[in-house]
Chains A and B, each alone.
Chain A
Amino acid sequence: MELLTELFPPANFTLLGFILLLPLLGAFVNGIFGKRLGREGVTLLGLSVIFAAFVGAIITYAMLIEHGHDGAAPKFHFMAWNWLELQGAGNGMTFRAVPLDVAFSVDALSGTMVLVITGIGFLIHLYSSSYMAEDPGFYRFFAYLNLFIFSMLVLVLGDSLPVLFVGWEGVGLCSYLLIGFWFNDDANASAGKKAFITNRIGDFGLLVAMGLLLYYVGALDWDGINAGKNSLLQPVKIWPVGDEVPIARFLPGGLADVINAPRFVNAATLVCLALFLGAMGKSAQFGLHVWLPDAMAGPTPVSALIHAATMVTAGVYLVCRLSGVFVLSPMAMAIVAGIGAFTALFAATIALVQNDIKKVLAYSTLSQLGYMFLGAGVGAFEAGFFHVLTHACFKACLFLGAGSVIHAMHARIHDTETSQDMRNMGGLYKFMPATALTFLAAWAAIAGVPGTSGFFSKDEILLMALTSRVTGPATISGGQYGMVVENFVWPEWYSYVLYGMGFLTAVLTAFYMSRLVIGIFFGEFRGWKIVEGWIDPHAAHAGAGHDTHAALAAHDAHGSADPSHAGHADHGHDDAHEAHAHPHEAPGVDNMDGPRPHESPWQMTLPLWILGALSVVAGLLNAHLIHIAPLGHLLEPIFAGASKRVEVSELAHSFEWMGAALAVFGACAPGVAVAYWMYVKQGGAPARELAVKFRGVYSFLQDKWRIDEFYAETVIGALDALADMCVWFDKYIVDGILARLSAFLVQLTGSLLRQFQTGRVQAYAAMTVLGTLIFGLYFAMPHAEVHEVFDDSSGSYKLSAAPGLGYKYRWDIDGESGWDRGDKFGNQTEVAFQLKPEEQRTVRLEVEGPFLVTSSYERVLSRPRGEMAAVEPAAAEPQRLKVRPARKAPPIMPGTQVPAGHPTLPNSPSAAPHGAAKGTH
């Protein structure tokens, strides 16, 4: 032990790294190289990494016990690496940088979970190596399972909410992959999607909770949250969201005041409800429970590992982990307990009438999860968590037993529906004694037979539901609003309601589990008639068609038509033909057609034996009733902070034995007895009578309270309507207008332009010549454009005409009619003149191009300058283009254009091109 402590010091507990990495390694190697490793290799690797992790978990736990002698809560840390840091999170009081590290820690709570995950995980891996042996996706299955173990370990070992969230999403992913493992079947794929999407709603709550915790507490790791949790005790305004409700102003005065009245709640309530939403999604509590029964579409070991023993208890783990935060809000705890109790009762009623054995177990799981939340909700975190542990044992045993039964039934028929229907079973005790015995042990535990594990954990929860309640401070004040808010106080009757619901659930549980056990293992085997092609000999004439019947039965036993169930296909039933020794006798177990159900191989029965034994004895870990509670002593320091706010009435001690007796004689015994009377003594007749008599109730329960239908009508219906609208928009707006119309326009333009594309090189050349001519004509035309520069103080204008090839100019700027220097065109491009204040003058310019074409410009200039002129100097007066009559054109003589020595007109040098242009005239 000293050596171990030296190797793995509590502050840097690297053993956690090994425990985490091994399953990840297994997942990686199995996933990438599994196909080449072969079945043996995959099994060896998949099993050994989990077993090694299990050994690591045992060492960890032993060290935890060793370090926890002095009553303190030992906790080992392992910091993997610094991830990132949030700068300046939180409000004014807690403003600081929040580091988000990939850090792990283990204490008694998470250590127990790790033991369950790796221990039961290993057993289920072992079981799967035989159950899935013939499946073509064998390596894929083990890769997913290993990945699941890794994710689940991250979830429970994470030292902060973000790391937990990574694991949380990881298990969700693995759950999705494994539910839809046989994805060839559409129903399985949609069950996977349903689980994933429903969980997403819960994950949203968890994300919101993280944001709220960052804001109010400024920390996300467990120690930080526990240190700063008291800042959660402040009022928060939740209504109205803005300053007022927008529609309130349209309402009459009194009503508006009522609607606008601000409402405050405890910040802790918000955080806890958001956290609980996450827990509800993962742990399938009422409202978000719809995915769990459908999740049974996955292979049975998956149902045992993920949807019974480990993943679905993540929500309970979260509530226990943050127990210190949850107890701050009595209201949130009341909701947790209430939803837990209701889920327990609700699921138990459905389980009463289901015939699919996996469905019964699924609803039983829902019901037991509700129990756990009931325990946690009333402040008995220890009892709730202990139920996680015992439930993991007995429910895993039940699911694996069911898997073994289904495996045996597949010897008769390869059909999921039929092979899981308990109406086709019965009397299997004779064929598979090991499965039956272990199943019975687990049945005793879940039904609450005294001394078994389930008895101790359920009894504790029921007792605490009656006697324990969460109390908070009478008022909550502080925060930014300076408000004082009355705290929520649990009403007196609430404990009785919770106890009543829990007690009723216990009765129903004992009943439906007994019904299940009797239906599967006792009575006459009814499965002889499910073989394909079976003809009721009482209806048909004796001897007729028996030969074809035998052939069909033999064919069915060996055929593996359905590839998705190939895993169960080949059991090598040599007894297929022996069964026809006396085909003319009355059918029944002794002389049925086809193969007989048989016991499963040792890889499947060994886990059953271990889990069955644990189901019976695990209760002694925390049996407060008989004062043997080693686990309780370990967990006590973890929940010590939380239990200060939990008030346990005096009744608890005096009622202890009384409650236990009530649980045994009031719940367990009547439930079992009624089931025995109904299904064994009367052969199920009373059940059928009741079903006929209360047809409405029966079908209501059979349809699972029609929650799925309700969701289909409301949520899914609304989404479908939205999708329809989007489809309409896509069809007519996007496709119709955007795509079709623009395509049509392009097509139209194209078909017009295509006429010019003759392919004749001369047509193209003619076009080129035409274009050249047009451009040449444009450039040959004169364009009279004038740029004005005006100085406001002196009133002087300076006008400059735009130059051009072969341009000649004549100006009229003196305000008198007639051109300034006769009708002759000159080379003068710039003129300048002055205006007196308030004077107006009309200025004209005429430009002559090389082909005797002229363009003129005319505008009124004034001082001060007009606004219009300032904005658009050239465009105010449209240019006029006209062809001057040829006779008016004066002969242009070289050298005569330059008007030398004019006082107001500065000379402009003649442009270089003019020399060339001259020659053409």
Chain B
Amino acid sequence: MDTTVESYMLLATAIFVIGSIGFLVRRNVLVQLMSIELMLNSVNLLLVGFNRLHTGNMAGQTFAFFIIAVAAAEVAVGLAIVLQFYRLRGGVNSDEATTLRH
């Protein structure tokens, strides 16, 4: 079956909306991190999909790999912060992380 770029866009949009809604409505920091991953991956999908239009140019694919690598690093830092936050508050509710308000 020949997939068009539109179908990639539709799928990416769907994943992005799921990720952003998940980030907005869930209070668990771990779930929020996972939502962020979803959004990042939807963008990756878009990049790879558009790359199909340009035969012979692999910039979009390369970019997707970069994003995967950066996302891995970001998650490592994020999980470390979550761990410390858990030790501090005894939970991972993002509404309790309001100390930096002041």
**B98 close to A (CB within 8 Å):** yes
Interface string of A742-774 (1 = CB under 8 A from B): 000000000000000111111001100100000
If over half of A's interface residues share one DSSP class (helix, strand or loop), that class is named, otherwise mixed; here it is helix
Partner of B98, one of A760, A765, A769, A919: A760
Which chain B residues border A757 with CB–CB below 8 Å? Answer: 101
Q: Report the separation of the CA atoms of residues A523 and B99 in the bound assembly, to the nearest whole angstrom.
A: 89
Q: Report the separation of the CA atoms of residues A17 and B101 in the bound assembly, to the nearest whole angstrom.
A: 72
**B1 close to A (CB within 8 Å):** no
Size category of the binding interface on chain A: 10 to 19
Once the chains bind, are A765 and B6 in contact (CB under 8 Å)? Answer: no
Which chain A residues border B97 with CB–CB below 8 Å? Answer: 759, 761
Q: Report the separation of the CA atoms of residues A769 and B24 in the bound assembly, to the nearest whole angstrom.
A: 10
Q: Report the separation of the CA atoms of residues A762 and B97 in the bound assembly, to the nearest whole angstrom.
A: 11
Once the chains bind, are A765 and B23 in contact (CB under 8 Å)? Answer: yes
Which chain A residues border B4 with CB–CB below 8 Å? Answer: 919
In chain B, positions 5-30 with a C-beta closer than 8 Å to chain A are: 6, 20, 23-25, 27
Once the chains bind, are B20 and A769 in contact (CB under 8 Å)? Answer: yes
Q: How far is the CB of A917 from chain B (nearest CB, A)?
A: 11
Which chain B residues border A759 with CB–CB below 8 Å? Answer: 97-101
Nearest to B25 among chain A residues (CB) is A762
Once the chains bind, are A761 and B101 in contact (CB under 8 Å)? Answer: no
Once the chains bind, are B6 and A762 in contact (CB under 8 Å)? Answer: no
Which chain B residues border A766 with CB–CB below 8 Å? Answer: 24
Q: Report the separation of the CA atoms of residues A448 and B15 in the bound assembly, to the nearest whole angstrom.
A: 116
Which chain B residues border A761 with CB–CB below 8 Å? Answer: 32, 94, 97
Which chain B residues border A769 with CB–CB below 8 Å? Answer: 20, 24
**B2 close to A (CB within 8 Å):** no
Once the chains bind, are A760 and B24 in contact (CB under 8 Å)? Answer: no
Once the chains bind, are A760 and B6 in contact (CB under 8 Å)? Answer: no
Size category of the binding interface on chain B: 10 to 19
Interface string of A289-319 (1 = CB under 8 A from B): 0000000000000000000000000000000
Once the chains bind, are A760 and B94 in contact (CB under 8 Å)? Answer: yes
If over half of B's interface residues share one DSSP class (helix, strand or loop), that class is named, otherwise mixed; here it is helix
Nearest to A920 among chain B residues (CB) is B6
Q: How far is the CB of A753 from chain B (nearest CB, A)?
A: 13
Which chain A residues border B98 with CB–CB below 8 Å? Answer: 758-760
Q: Report the separation of the CA atoms of residues A757 and B99 in the bound assembly, to the nearest whole angstrom.
A: 11
Partner of A919, one of B6, B24, B101: B6
Q: Report the separation of the CA atoms of residues A249 and B23 in the bound assembly, to the nearest whole angstrom.
A: 83
Q: Report the separation of the CA atoms of residues A762 and B29 in the bound assembly, to the nearest whole angstrom.
A: 10
Which chain A residues border B27 with CB–CB below 8 Å? Answer: 762
Once the chains bind, are A762 and B99 in contact (CB under 8 Å)? Answer: no
Which chain A residues border B94 with CB–CB below 8 Å? Answer: 760-762
Q: How far is the CB of A222 from chain B (nearest CB, A)?
A: 74
Interface string of B32-73 (1 = CB under 8 A from A): 100000000000000000000000000000000000000000
Q: Report the separation of the CA atoms of residues A91 and B27 in the bound assembly, to the nearest whole angstrom.
A: 88
Partner of B23, one of A758, A760, A762, A920: A762
Nearest to B102 among chain A residues (CB) is A759
Which chain B residues border A919 with CB–CB below 8 Å? Answer: 4, 6
Which chain B residues border A765 with CB–CB below 8 Å? Answer: 20, 23-24
In chain A, positions 764-786 with a C-beta closer than 8 Å to chain B are: 765-766, 769
Nearest to B26 among chain A residues (CB) is A762
Which chain A residues border B95 with CB–CB below 8 Å? Answer: 760, 762
Once the chains bind, are A762 and B24 in contact (CB under 8 Å)? Answer: yes
Q: Report the separation of the CA atoms of residues A569 and B22 in the bound assembly, to the nearest whole angstrom.
A: 88
Which chain A residues border B32 with CB–CB below 8 Å? Answer: 761
Nearest to A768 among chain B residues (CB) is B20
Q: Report the separation of the CA atoms of residues A899 and B101 in the bound assembly, to the nearest whole angstrom.
A: 60
Which of A758, A762, A769 has most B Cβ within 10 Å?
A: A762
Q: Report the separation of the CA atoms of residues A758 and B102 in the bound assembly, to the nearest whole angstrom.
A: 9
Q: How far is the CB of A762 from chain B (nearest CB, A)?
A: 6
Q: How far is the CB of B40 from chain A (nearest CB, A)?
A: 14
Q: Report the separation of the CA atoms of residues A808 and B78 in the bound assembly, to the nearest whole angstrom.
A: 46
Q: Report the separation of the CA atoms of residues A130 and B33 in the bound assembly, to the nearest whole angstrom.
A: 86
Which chain A residues border B20 with CB–CB below 8 Å? Answer: 765, 769
Nearest to B4 among chain A residues (CB) is A919
Which chain B residues border A758 with CB–CB below 8 Å? Answer: 98, 101
Q: Report the separation of the CA atoms of residues A766 and B23 in the bound assembly, to the nearest whole angstrom.
A: 9
Q: Report the separation of the CA atoms of residues A488 and B99 in the bound assembly, to the nearest whole angstrom.
A: 89
Q: Report the separation of the CA atoms of residues A762 and B23 in the bound assembly, to the nearest whole angstrom.
A: 7
Nearest to B10 among chain A residues (CB) is A920
Interface string of B61-97 (1 = CB under 8 A from A): 0000000000000000000000000000000001101
Nearest to B6 among chain A residues (CB) is A919
Q: How far is the CB of A23 from chain B (nearest CB, A)?
A: 64
Nearest to B101 among chain A residues (CB) is A759
Q: How far is the CB of A49 from chain B (nearest CB, A)?
A: 66
Q: Report the separation of the CA atoms of residues A761 and B6 in the bound assembly, to the nearest whole angstrom.
A: 33
Q: Report the separation of the CA atoms of residues A102 and B62 in the bound assembly, to the nearest whole angstrom.
A: 76
Q: Report the separation of the CA atoms of residues A919 and B25 in the bound assembly, to the nearest whole angstrom.
A: 32
Q: How far is the CB of A768 from chain B (nearest CB, A)?
A: 9
Which chain A residues border B23 with CB–CB below 8 Å? Answer: 762, 765
Q: How far is the CB of B8 from chain A (nearest CB, A)?
A: 12
Interface string of A497-512 (1 = CB under 8 A from B): 0000000000000000
Q: How far is the CB of A824 from chain B (nearest CB, A)?
A: 24
Nearest to B20 among chain A residues (CB) is A769
Nearest to B23 among chain A residues (CB) is A765
Q: Report the separation of the CA atoms of residues A761 and B28 in the bound assembly, to the nearest whole angstrom.
A: 12
In chain A, positions 890-921 with a C-beta closer than 8 Å to chain B are: 919-920
Which chain B residues border A920 with CB–CB below 8 Å? Answer: 6
Q: How far is the CB of A11 from chain B (nearest CB, A)?
A: 80
Nearest to A757 among chain B residues (CB) is B101
Q: Report the separation of the CA atoms of residues A769 and B25 in the bound assembly, to the nearest whole angstrom.
A: 13
Q: Report the separation of the CA atoms of residues A762 and B20 in the bound assembly, to the nearest whole angstrom.
A: 10
Q: Report the separation of the CA atoms of residues A765 and B25 in the bound assembly, to the nearest whole angstrom.
A: 10
Q: Report the separation of the CA atoms of residues A757 and B100 in the bound assembly, to the nearest whole angstrom.
A: 10
Q: Report the separation of the CA atoms of residues A670 and B44 in the bound assembly, to the nearest whole angstrom.
A: 118
Which chain A residues border B6 with CB–CB below 8 Å? Answer: 919-920
Q: Report the separation of the CA atoms of residues A762 and B25 in the bound assembly, to the nearest whole angstrom.
A: 8
Q: Report the separation of the CA atoms of residues A762 and B32 in the bound assembly, to the nearest whole angstrom.
A: 9
Q: Report the separation of the CA atoms of residues A500 and B2 in the bound assembly, to the nearest whole angstrom.
A: 129
Q: Report the separation of the CA atoms of residues A769 and B20 in the bound assembly, to the nearest whole angstrom.
A: 9
What are 20 sample pairs from A and B whose C-beta atoms fall under 8 A apart? A758-B98, A758-B101, A759-B97, A759-B98, A759-B100, A759-B101, A760-B94, A760-B95, A760-B98, A761-B94, A761-B97, A762-B23, A762-B24, A762-B25, A762-B94, A762-B95, A765-B24, A769-B20, A919-B4, A920-B6
Closest 8 CB pairs of A and B: A759-B98, A759-B101, A919-B6, A761-B94, A762-B24, A757-B101, A766-B24, A765-B23
Other contacts beyond A760-B98, A762-B27, A769-B20: 5, CB < 8 A: A758-B98, A760-B94, A761-B97, A766-B24, A920-B6
